[in-house]
């Protein structure tokens, strides 16, 4: 593969761009369409990464582009000191798909971490309680509030301590890699029992606990799906102690799992939902949807300059239309198709330890193929590079997993092509 222009760009990048960004592969984008992308050297790639699960409707969907263009000609910005119709419209739409039956209110910002900051602040000011419970392996962002929860890699926290707020981390209910002694047949219930019987009794007095913040499917931590007993038991624990339940749907929301929100797979109603990434197909937007009875903070207590940015609102409205009309169903259908195909691939490759996910949020965990389930980190790194060399963009997650998070619009033919490259790459790197 020719990468001359890419190499040139990488040199310039190295000179002026912050070295803190974690890069997955030397892909320098020129353009994209749907689930395909091209680099500055003209090489084509199938995109299973979608800009970290952001490009819900594919790259530059014509309806999203038209909405942004139309809005740009009217006005680009007015600030949150005033009002405008598309801000109200997108808030109505988001409130209308809230995963709880109570009326909802919406706060808008620009990113996932801002969504989480808003959730944390709202929980504190509403409850009057200072402390939180989070999960090991969780990723919630990199600003100082959300970073107090983030624990998917130590490099994300090293040197940035001490944490700005009191968060006690408990194990995420990963049934494949259990760290707690079972107290129930359902490992999710085991984790909730641990919170009740140990954490609330020793470290976090329940009357001081504002909220539990949790990803309905753990994303950066490895695309881990909790067992069915987890969320019902967690909701019950929150209700017993007046603790708010905040779900971080930044990666799992907006139709990616085949429902608007991943929490809907468990029939549990949260109090606050954090969203971002997929909501505006790549135009920065993030925020929270909360029960109206919870979002009772006073005027001036929280805000920002760009919240309700008109370009983002229009991109989000076009995105929600497309997801509702076509792509949520497609995510469900293509997700099932991919899971079946991956299970077949797994039967030929002992290096695949587990396949898990919902809709188009799928994780493939690589292990040393001797039955001991040891995470195969280096193998995963080699797989990502091999797939890149063969024209497939794949992102890692957790210690030794790769994720499939393509555009929700991906069609069977491209999915097949990508899965074929993935299997060829696994064969190459595991021999
Ligand atoms: C679940 C979750 N929450 C929050 C974030 C932070 O989002 P952002 O990078 O937009 O700040 C991410 C980013 O990957 C995420 O996956």
> How many Å apart are CA 265 and CA 253, to the nearest integer?
12
Site to substitute for ligand 1 among 51, 140, 285, most atoms within 8 A of C-beta: 140
What residue spans of 214-352 are helical by DSSP H?
A: 230-241, 310-322, 328-348
**CB of 249 sitting under 6 A from ligand 1:** no
Task: Judge whether 131 and 164 are in contact, CB under 8 Å.
Answer: no
Ligand 1: nearest atom to the Cα of 276: 10
Residue 238 makes CB contacts below 8 A (sequence gap 6+) with 212, 244, 245, 271
Beta carbon of 247 within 6 Å of any ligand 1 atom: no
Task: From 141, 217, 398, give the residue whose CB has the most ligand 1 atoms within 8 Å, as the site to mutate.
Answer: 141
DSSP 218: B
Counting ligand 1 atoms within 8 A of each CB, the residue from 219, 285, 395 with the most, and so the one to mutate, is 219
CA–centroid distance, 248 to ligand 1, in Å, is 9
What is the 8-class DSSP label of residue 364?
E
In this structure, CATH architecture of domain 63-322: 3-Layer(aba) Sandwich (3.40)
Q: CB of 110 closer than 6 A to ligand 1?
A: no
288 in contact with ligand 1, CB cutoff 6 A: no
CA of 274 to the centre of ligand 1 (A): 10
Could you identify the atom of ligand 1 that is nearest to the CA of residue 249?
Answer: 1
Q: What pLDDT score was predicted for residue 372? A: 86
Helix (H) or strand (E) holding 124: helix 112-127
The pLDDT value recorded for residue 371 is 80
Contact 14, 20 (CB under 8 A): no
Q: What is the rounded CA–CA span in Å between residue 60 and residue 69?
A: 12
Fold of the 4-61+326-429 domain: 3.90.1150
- CB-based contact 166:134 (threshold 8 Å): no
Exposure on the CB side of residue 361, measured as CA atoms within 13 A? 33
The answer to whether 4-61+326-429 and 63-322 have equal CATH topology is no
Q: Is the CB of 248 under 6 A from ligand 1?
A: yes
- Tokens representing 120? 């944390």
The CA dihedral of 113, 118, 279, 235, to the nearest 10 degrees, is: 100
pLDDT computed for residue 369 by the predictor: 76
Q: Which atom of ligand 1 is nearest to the CA of 142?
A: 11
Q: Is there a contact between 33 and 60 (Cβ–Cβ < 8 Å)?
A: yes
Name the residue with the closest Cα to ligand 1, atom 7: 112
Report CA(141)–ligand 1 centroid distance (Å): 5
Query: 240 CA to middle of ligand 1, Å?
Result: 29
Evaluate: CB of 111 within 6 angstroms of ligand 1.
yes
Please state the separation of Cα 142 from the chain's center in Å. 14
Q: How many helices (H) and strands (E) does the chain have?
A: 13, 15
Q: Give domain limits for the chain.
A: 4-61+326-429, 63-322
Q: Is 215 in the pocket of ligand 1 (CB under 6 A)?
A: yes
**Is 250 touching ligand 1 by the criterion CB < 6 Å?**
yes
Instruction: Show Cβ contacts of residue 13 under 8 Å, excluding neighbours closer than 6 positions.
Output: none
Which helix (H) or strand (E) segment is 194 a member of? Answer: helix 187-194
For residue 166, the CA-to-ligand 1 centroid distance in Å is 20
CA of 243 to the centre of ligand 1 (A): 23
pLDDT per residue as tens, the chain (431 positions)? 999 999 999 999 999 999 999 999 999 999 999 999 999 999 999 999 999 999 999 999 999 999 999 999 999 999 999 999 999 999 999 999 999 999 999 999 999 999 999 999 999 999 999 999 999 999 999 999 999 999 999 999 999 999 999 999 999 999 999 999 999 999 999 999 999 999 999 999 999 999 999 999 999 999 999 999 999 999 999 999 999 999 999 999 999 999 999 999 999 999 999 999 999 999 999 999 999 999 999 999 999 999 999 999 999 999 999 999 999 999 999 999 999 999 999 999 999 999 999 999 999 999 997 888 999 999 999 999 999 999 999 999 999 999 999 999 999 999 999 999 999 999 999 98
CA of residue 303 to ligand 1 center, whole Å: 19
For residue 379, count other CB atoms closer than 10 A to its CB.
Answer: 18
- Residue 144, strand partner residues: none
SS3 at position 228: coil
pTM recorded for the entire structure = 0.98
Please tell me the distance between residue 355's alpha carbon and the centre of ligand 1 in angstroms.
22
**Residue 35 to residues 200, 343, 413, 414, Cα–Cα distance (Å):** 46, 22, 11, 8
pLDDT at 92: 98
């Amino acid at each position: 593969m020719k990468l001359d222009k890419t190499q040139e760009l990488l040199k310039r990048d190295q000179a002026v761009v912050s070295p803190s960004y974690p890069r997955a592969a030397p892909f320098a984008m020129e353009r994209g369409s749907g689930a395909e992308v091209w680099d500055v050297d003209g090489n084509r790639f199938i995109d299973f990464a979608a800009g970290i699960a952001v490009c819900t409707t594919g790259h530059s969907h014509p309806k999203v582009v038209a909405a942004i263009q139309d809005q740009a000609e009217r006005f680009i910005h007015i600030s949150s000191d005033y009002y405008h119709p598309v801000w109200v419209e997108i808030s109505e739409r988001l409130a209308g798909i809230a995963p709880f039956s109570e009326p909802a209110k919406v706060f808008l910002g620009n990113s996932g971490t801002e969504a989480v900051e808003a959730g944390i602040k709202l929980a504190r000011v509403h409850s009057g309680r200072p402390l939180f419970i989070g999960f090991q392996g969780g990723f919630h962002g990199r600003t100082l509030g959300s970073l107090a929860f983030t624990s998917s890699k130590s490099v994300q926290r090293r040197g940035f301590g001490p944490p700005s707020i009191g968060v006690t981390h408990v194990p995420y209910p990963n049934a494949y890699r259990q760290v707690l002694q079972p107290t129930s047949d359902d490992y999710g219930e085991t984790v909730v029992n641990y919170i009740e019987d140990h954490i609330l009794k020793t470290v976090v007095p329940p009357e001081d606990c504002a909220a539990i913040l949790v990803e309905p499917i753990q994303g950066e931590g490895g695309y881990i799906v909790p067992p069915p007993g987890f969320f019902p038991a967690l909701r019950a624990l929150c209700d017993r102690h007046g603790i708010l339940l905040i779900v971080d749907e930044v990666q799992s929301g907006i139709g990616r799992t085949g429902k608007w929100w991943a929490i809907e797979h468990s029939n549990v109603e949260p109090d606050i939902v954090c969203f971002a990434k997929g909501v505006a197909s790549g135009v920065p937007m993030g925020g929270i949807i909360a029960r109206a009875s919870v979002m009772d903070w006073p005027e001036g207590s929280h805000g920002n300059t760009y919240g309700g940015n008109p370009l983002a609102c229009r991109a989000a409205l076009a995105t929600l239309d497309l997801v509702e009309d076509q792509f949520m169903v497609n995510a469900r259908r293509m997700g099932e198709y991919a899971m079946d195909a991956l299970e077949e691939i797994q039967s030929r490759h002992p290096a695949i330890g587990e396949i898990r996910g919902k809709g188009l949020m799928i994780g493939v965990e690589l292990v040393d193929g001797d039955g001991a389930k040891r995470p195969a980190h280096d193998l995963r790194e080699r797989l990502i590079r091999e797939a890149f060399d063969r024209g497939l963009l794949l992102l890692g997650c957790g210690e030794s997993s790769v994720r499939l998070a393509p555009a929700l619009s991906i069609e069977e033919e491209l999915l097949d092509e990508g899965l074929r490259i993935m299997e060829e790459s696994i064969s190459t790197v595991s021999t």
